[in-house]
A and B are shown apart, each in its own frame.
Chain A
């Protein structure tokens, strides 16, 4: 038909992928055994496929750069794309468990790179289970920001262990974050908001960011405005619950 032959799933006018071809279930079981490839260790993460412009063979200068921002459960990638232009020198990665959604974000980034030469070279996406494989991707203290935006609420008590913010998983996030690094969480579910706050409050290696710092941080505004999930909550006039915490050095 009239559709672009090479990319029938992409919009003709913008070249961006269209969401209707990448619909996926809203939930994915983080407990099931994964069958996708996982890097053996952080040194096995292939940066050149994720950031070809920064890690081309001729350019040695950028090759020591490491990923600094991680968007855990990045969904359709709205936050990554906003952050990309806000922090053009920082490498960031989105991690998403649903294969089709990851595929969409991948296509979206590629299309943005084509449409805006030189831009969006610092963002990428990977399909993985970040509740299991954070240490396979990041070295100790590698990250300066981690994002957990509108995570799956898992209301039932027996499923609380599937929540991405939980007392024991915070140990791993604290390991991947450098001292002073910031963890951003937001949800439209009050119960989950309280839970995430409580988990972070009770963890000895995190402290809440003071409100003036929170207001001064340009990222704060993006949490609710940049993501697809946040825009949806906004459209429906819903409330959001924010918890932003800083990684502390452990007290001995």
Chain B
């Protein structure tokens, strides 16, 4: 009755808004931003905008990029998304060394710690693995076929992560689930041994990260979710160690003028390396929340809220490098209607000292790479204020359409079953 075809059309259009993503090279040699189908890379060592070379037989991405990531060694970079292509790049030449075709849209990627395997998850919950063999960066290897490794039964996988020691492979999905799998010696034959399930979230799990220190090299998992919490887990047993509710810090969510009942989703997590701080991006928060993780007491608490003055900057993606002590943030959306180009805005936060001054948000001229970097990554230097709100709204709608289960009333459900034979018999 209410489900007219038009409504479906709208749904599809809304889910096509992709958030801007950011990734930083482990030693901050370069920074990459993905917005829509556009992959933008800036070389910080040389101080120039990188032009990507793709002679692996394909073209650049043709649809929204949904995942980008550097390998732990910094030699590899992977991008993938709605065009069902997974592109593996060399970060030295910025050539695409391999393009892997996926059967379905790709939602997340991960690179094994030794850099020999690339894993990616598709929209039907299957994680695929492809071997990056004999890679020296100079020659494009023949395009490979990926092998299925594990599956979350038809649930959209939102995040993939390797444990710091490389032993475990963690995958999170929209069915509130986090699966910890033993990463096998021959991943191409499948990863069958499940170490644990980390269950406790009451909405989709949106992001994963590991906190590890010298005393705890195996690390602890933190996860963010649509239920407005960040949780701390012991992955070997799957037990929930602590839950940090960020709802109060995020403030009530004003959206289309109506205060919504549903909670603000955590959109990204990033651990500040060599510290026990976790930066959290939340759907409604103009800034980031810093959580402190006490690994000996197994607790997770809000340390600080870093708000960003000026623009309505609600970060969509966070990234950091090992050495620099800088947190890179981006906000943006791929599709803002007919007359506007996609939005991407990059900001940087510095000074995450245990003691000393508060973290500060750098001004544009203090940002490494300066205006040249911003010009490349944002596509322009200055941005109209109104665009930010439009983008935030579009992203929120798109995310909830994609990941939150639709709720139907009992009457509506019964109405939809009216034609079924077992219903007819009753009368």
Binding site for B on A (CB under 8 A): 23-25, 30-31, 33, 35, 40-42, 100, 131-132, 135-136, 140, 161, 167-172, 174-175, 203-205, 250
Q: Are A100 and B422 in contact, CB atoms less than 8 angstroms apart?
A: yes
Cα separation A218 to B238 with both chains bound (whole Å) = 36
| A42 CA / B239 CA spacing, docked (Å) | 11
Identify B422's interface contact among A25, A131, A170, CB under 8 A: A25
Q: Is the CB of B155 within 8 A of A25?
A: no
Assuming the A-B contacts A24-B422, A171-B194, A174-B192, are A35 and B413 also in contact, with contact meaning beta carbons closer than 8 angstroms in the complex? yes
Contact assessment for B196 and A140 in the assembled complex, using a CB-CB cutoff below 8 Å: yes
Please list the residues of chain B having a beta carbon within 8 angstroms of any beta carbon in chain A: 124, 126, 148, 150-151, 153-155, 175-177, 179, 181-182, 189-194, 196-197, 199-200, 202, 238, 405-408, 413, 420-422, 425
Complex CA gap A140/B199 in Å reads: 12
Given contacts A41-B200, A204-B189, 8 further A-B contacts (CB under 8 A): A23-B422, A40-B176, A42-B199, A132-B153, A168-B151, A171-B151, A174-B193, A174-B194
The interface residues of chain A lying within 8 Å CB-to-CB of B422 are: 23-25, 100
- Asked whether B175 lies within 8 Å of A40 as measured between CB atoms, the reply is no
Which A residues touch B406, using CB under 8 A? 33
Residue of B148, B177, B191, B192 ringed by the most chain A CB atoms within 10 A: B192
User: Which one of A23, A30, A31, A171 lies within 8 Å of B192 (CB-CB)?
Assistant: A171
| Identity of the chain A residue whose Cβ is nearest the Cβ of B176 in the assembled complex | A40
Measured in the bound complex, the distance between the Cα atoms of B175 and A131 in whole Å is 12
B134 to chain A, nearest CB (A): 26
B192, A205: Cβ atoms under 8 Å? yes
Residues of B within 8 Å of A35, CB to CB, are 405, 407-408, 413
Mind listing 27 A-B residue pairs with CB under 8 Å? Answer: A24-B422, A25-B420, A33-B405, A33-B406, A35-B407, A40-B176, A40-B199, A41-B199, A131-B153, A132-B153, A132-B154, A132-B155, A135-B177, A140-B196, A161-B154, A167-B190, A168-B148, A168-B150, A168-B151, A168-B153, A171-B190, A171-B193, A172-B194, A174-B194, A204-B189, A204-B192, A205-B193
Q: How far is the CA of A153 from the CA of B72 in the complex (A)?
A: 45
* Cβ–Cβ contact B408 & A250, under 8 A: no
Chain B at the A interface: SS class: loop
How many Å from the CB of B61 to the closest CB on chain A?
Answer: 27
Flag if B202 contacts A40 (CB, 8 Å). yes
* Chain B residue at minimal CB-CB distance from A136: B199
Roughly how many angstroms separate A159 CA and B242 CA in the complex, as a whole number? 40
A161-B199 Cα distance, complex, nearest whole Å: 24
Q: B92 to chain A: closest CB distance in Å? A: 36
Residues from chain A with Cβ under 8 Å of B150 in the complex: 168, 171
Q: Kindly state the separation between the CA atoms of A135 and B200 in the bound complex, as whole angstroms.
A: 12
Residues of B contacting A100 with CB < 8 Å?
Answer: 422
Q: Complex Cα distance A250/B193, Å?
A: 7
A residues in contact with B197, CB < 8 Å: 135, 175
Q: Given the complex of chains A and B, what is the CA–CA distance between A100 and B425 in angstroms?
A: 13
Cβ of A205: which chain B residues have Cβ within 8 Å of it?
A: 192-193
Q: When chains A and B are docked, how far (Å) is the Cα of A30 from the Cα of B405? A: 15
Chain B min CB distance to A147 (Å): 19
Cα of A170 to Cα of B199 in the assembled complex, Å? 20
Q: How far is the CA of A171 from the CA of B194 in the complex (A)?
A: 7
The CA-CA distance from A172 to B420 in the complex, in Å, is 33
CB neighbours (8 Å) of A203 from chain B are 192
| Docked CA distance A57–B425 (Å) | 43
Q: Are B192 and A169 in contact (CB under 8 A)?
A: no
A23 to B202 alpha-carbon distance, docked (Å): 33
CB closest chain-A residue, reference B197 = A135
Interface centre among A31, A42, A132, A250, by most B CB within 10 Å? Answer: A132
Closest to A161 in B: B154
Contacts of A132 in B (CB 8 A): 153-155, 175
Residues from chain A with Cβ under 8 Å of B196 in the complex: 140
CB-CB nearest in chain B for A33: B405
Q: Which residues of A contact B408 (CB under 8 A)?
A: 35
Bound together, the chains give a CA A169 to CA B405 distance in angstroms of 22
B149: nearest chain-A partner, CB-CB = A168
Q: Which residues in A have their C-beta under 8 angstroms from that of B425?
A: 23
How far, in whole Å, are A25 and B425 apart by their CA atoms in the complex? 11
Smallest CB separation, B65 vs chain A (Å): 27
Closest CB pairs A-B (n = 5): A168-B151, A41-B199, A175-B194, A135-B197, A250-B193
Contacts of B191 in A (CB 8 A): 171
Give the CA-CA distance A250 to B202 in the complex, in Å: 32
What's the minimum C-beta distance from A136 to chain B, rounded to whole angstroms? 6
A34 to B53, CA, bound (A): 45
C-alpha gap A250/B151 in the complex (Å): 18
**Residues of chain B with a CB closer than 8 A to A174's CB:** 192-194
Per the bound structure, the CA–CA distance linking A174 and B191 in Å amounts to 12
Name B413's closest neighbour in chain A (CB-CB): A35
For A250, give its contact among B155, B175, B177, B192 (CB under 8 Å).
B192
In angstroms, how far is the closest chain A Cβ from the Cβ of B301? 22
Q: Which of A24, A25, A135, A167 is B199 in contact with, Cβ under 8 Å?
A: A135
The chain B residue with its CB closest to the CB of A42 is: B199
**Least distance between A69 CB and chain B CB atoms (Å):** 20
Residues of B within 8 A of A175 (CB): 194, 197
Who on chain B is nearest to A100 by CB?
B422
Chain B's nearest CB lies how many Å from the CB of A178?
Answer: 14
Q: Which residues of A contact B405 (CB under 8 A)?
A: 33, 35
Q: Which residues of A contact B200 (CB under 8 A)?
A: 40-41
Q: How far is the CB of A46 from chain B (nearest CB, A)?
A: 16
Q: Which residue of B lies closest to A43 (CB)?
A: B199
| CA gap between A172 and B153 in the complex, in Å | 10
Q: B154–A31 contact, CB under 8 A?
A: yes
Q: Given A35-B408, A41-B199, A135-B199, do A25 and B421 touch, yes or no (CB 8 Å)? A: yes
Q: How far is the CB of A181 from chain B (nearest CB, A)?
A: 14
